[in-house]
Amino acid sequence: MSTSDLTPVTAPDCLFCRIVAGDLPATIVASTPRVVAFRDIAPKAPLHVLVVPRDHHADIAQLAAADPALLADLVRLAHEVAQSEADGQFRLVFNTGVDAGQSVFHVHAHLLAGARLGWSPG
């Protein structure tokens, strides 16, 4: 919910806004009044969960500038999911921009865990 008026800030054509609203199916893992975590449909790790704010922000930089407390809530929920499903060990990835791999322009964290993760950003 937005901090100013409790009305969610949404974009009508946004895939993740539609998932958060319940208009599209997703396997919800956890949620709070401000953040939702759901399983990625094309997992890249044994545990691959997307953690998104209910409010629409295009990327992590916009979210951090607009609502730092909401960013903290997002990280907190990611940690809670990792605690319950991966012994608290996890990687949290935010892609910002097409060249960085962002394909849905609603800020989302990729929570990756469940195995020893290598490093290959390219």
Catalytic residues: 108
Q: Where does residue 44 rank: exposed (0-12), middle (13-18), buried (19+ CB within 10 A)? A: exposed
Edge-to-edge order in the sheet of strand 28-31: 28-31, 35-39, 47-53, 109-113, 91-94
CA distances to 11, 23, 69 from 112, in Å: 26, 25, 23
Contact 92, 113 (CB under 8 A): no
Distance CA 28, CA 51 (A): 10
